[in-house]
Amino acid sequence: MSKPLINEITPGLALYGTLVQGYLLLGYLTEMLKNNFGHAWVTGGSMEAKLVFPAMEGDTLITGGSVTDIQDGVAICDIWLRNSEQRAVVVGTAKVKIN
């Protein structure tokens, strides 16, 4: 059995295994935005995101998002990454200039 990682932020939450790095999680969201907005995302998109729950090696992760507003040709999107239990792992906002 793996040795639990010490969780100083949320005492009592023992984590077993390898913790997934935050940059990889943000990469999943970036890929989703690129697949949906294409060149517009690559050349002028921006994202603000918070890591809100740990993801462990082997977790099934699901990206998602929705356009919540369009202001001056910029799509404003709520974005998220959830685990298979539908618990939010990353939440945030993305902005993409659209035509």
C-alpha–C-alpha distance, residues 90 and 35, integer Å: 18
C-alpha–C-alpha distance, residues 90 and 74, integer Å: 22
The pLDDT assigned to 95 comes to 98
DSSP string across 21-78: PHHHHHHHHHHHHHHHHTHHHHHH-EEEEEE-S--BTT--EEEEEEEEEEETTEEEEE
The pLDDT assigned to 1 comes to 46
Mean pLDDT of 54-76: 94
Q: Kindly provide the b/e burial profile for residues 11-37, where b requires at least 16 CB atoms within 10 angstroms of the residue's own CB.
A: eeeeeeeeebeeeebbebbbebbeebb
The pLDDT assigned to 45 comes to 96
Residue 57 has pLDDT above 80, yes or no: yes
Res. 99 pLDDT band, cuts 50 70 90: confident
Q: What is the mean pLDDT of the chain?
A: 88
Residue 11 has pLDDT above 80, yes or no: no
Res. 17 pLDDT band, cuts 50 70 90: confident
